[in-house]
């Protein structure tokens, strides 16, 4: 039976917080999987009984709390039969339910599962969803304009009506949703999700992972700008290349991340310029930040821009879109905010920082100080404090 929230908050939670993460995707090097494991790694050790459920296979960096929801035999058989991940998730959900106790928190990361959400709630569990991107209506609007700028429609299969409708049902069924920037919060409010069920927070960065770049002393030189992320329209990569050409500054643009073929073909002339260096996928991302003077990230749509926190932690001033700013920007000190649809605006920002070394250094120092509030250790501590007070919602 559900407990009224006002009443439950008066009662202490017996024993440690029991938390079940659910992630029906590969636990590899992707940014979503990385954020999830960093948050779990940084929860208070003795205060949380944590399990992170995944489909199967061999994770890239195993953790003691990893729990395969399918046996290796079943997982391999399903993969061999090419059973989609969301169908595998329905089968795997039985393992989560078997381990569930009333009052446990099930922390769901995409892809979500409406059936599992309802079954968890029926057994007295609390479902919290991590919203890694804005809701579909806002995403559709933002990305439609991004592609229209190039005279292109959205790619086939993006934002199907039935998928958008199902996603809204999934989110509205959850007890709470974690939003990592103000745009995610607004997109939830736009579809009618109650504000008092939104948990606001931020991602972070790891000073130890980026130790080679944290506190790096940058020499006086022609400025080096760095873009880190997927080289796609959604991240504003096309706008960046056009703005870099228009700015015509003396300096260099470093590009770190996988590039789609259409971007490579459409902007081959810019990518071939001597002042543009494409690095591809980079494992040692600290080296990129250490070798840069400015970070630039004009993304159109973002849930929680981890790279912005990383760049700030490494002492870089940033040029970012509003969504790319996340929660780190305060009073416009650490970043220059630009409209990712306006090439002229981005080009002007590039020129401004290219020509003013003192401004670059001042903004970089401010960013470094501000970033101390956004480490993964602080993000994990904040998440624990937010989760430990949650109780099942009252039902009508």
Report residue 7's pLDDT band, with 50, 70 and 90 as the boundaries.
Answer: very low
pLDDT at 396: 36
pLDDT at 3: 34
Q: Is the pLDDT of residue 1 over 70?
A: no
- Cβ 145 vs Cβ 96: under 8 Å: no
Of 10-19, 214-223, 246-255, 279-288, the least confident? 10-19
**Burial degree of 337 (CB within 10 A; 0-12, 13-18, 19+):** middle
Report residue 331's pLDDT band, with 50, 70 and 90 as the boundaries.
Answer: low
Above pLDDT 90, what percent of the chain?
84
pLDDT at 321: 96
pLDDT tens-digit map of 333-373: 679 999 999 999 999 999 999 999 999 999 999 999 999 99
Q: Is the pLDDT of residue 395 over 80?
A: no
Average pLDDT for the chain: 92
Domains and CATH numbers, the chain: 5-204+377-388 (3.40.50.2000), 224-374 (3.40.50.2000)
- The rounded distance, in Å, linking the Cα atoms of 348 and 339 is 12
pLDDT tens-digit map of 112-144: 999 999 999 999 999 999 999 999 999 999 999
pLDDT at 177: 98
**Burial degree of 217 (CB within 10 A; 0-12, 13-18, 19+):** exposed
The answer to whether the pTM exceeds 0.85 is yes
pLDDT at 378: 96
């Amino acid at each position: 039976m559900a407990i009224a929230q006002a009443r439950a908050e008066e009662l202490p939670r017996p024993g440690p917080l029991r938390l079940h993460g659910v992630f029906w995707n590969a636990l590899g090097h992707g940014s979503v999987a990385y954020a999830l494991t960093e948050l779990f790694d940084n929860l208070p050790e003795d205060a949380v009984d944590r399990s992170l459920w995944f489909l199967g296979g061999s994770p890239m960096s195993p953790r003691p709390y990893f729990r395969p929801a399918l046996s290796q035999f079943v997982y391999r058989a399903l993969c061999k039969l090419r059973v989609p991940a969301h169908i595998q998730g329905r089968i795997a959900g039985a393992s989560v339910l078997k381990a569930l106790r009333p009052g446990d928190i099930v922390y769901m990361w995409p892809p979500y599962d409406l059936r599992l959400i309802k079954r968890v709630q029926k057994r007295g569990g609390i479902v919290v969803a991590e919203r890694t991107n804005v809701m579909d209506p806002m995403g559709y609007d933002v990305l439609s304009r991004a592609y229209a700028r190039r005279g292109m429609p959205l790619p086939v299969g993006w934002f199907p009506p039935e998928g958008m409708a199902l996603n809204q049902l999934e989110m509205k069924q959850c007890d709470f949703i974690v939003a990592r920037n103000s745009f995610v919060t607004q997109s939830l409010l736009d579809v009618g999700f109650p504000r008092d069920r939104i948990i606001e927070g931020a991602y972070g960065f790891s000073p130890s992972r980026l130790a080679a770049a944290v506190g790096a002393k940058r020499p006086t030189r022609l400025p080096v700008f760095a873009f880190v992320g997927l080289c796609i329209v959604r991240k504003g990569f096309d706008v960046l290349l056009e703005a870099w050409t228009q700015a015509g500054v003396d300096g260099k643009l470093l590009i770190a991340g996988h590039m789609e073929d259409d971007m490579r073909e459409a902007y081959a002339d810019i990518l071939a310029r001597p002042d543009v260096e494409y690095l591809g996928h980079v494992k040692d991302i600290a080296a990129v930040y250490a070798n840069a003077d400015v970070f630039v990230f004009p993304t159109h749509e973002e849930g929680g821009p981890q790279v912005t926190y990383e760049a700030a932690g490494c002492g870089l001033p940033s040029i970012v879109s509003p969504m790319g700013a996340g929660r780190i920007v305060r009073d416009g000190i650490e970043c220059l905010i630009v409209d990712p649809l306006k090439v002229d605006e981005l080009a002007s920002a590039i020129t401004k920082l290219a020509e003013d070394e003192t401004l670059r250094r001042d903004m970089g120092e401010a960013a470094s100080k501000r970033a101390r509030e956004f480490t993964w250790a602080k993000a994990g501590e904040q998440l624990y404090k937010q989760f430990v007070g949650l109780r099942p919602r009252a039902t009508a």
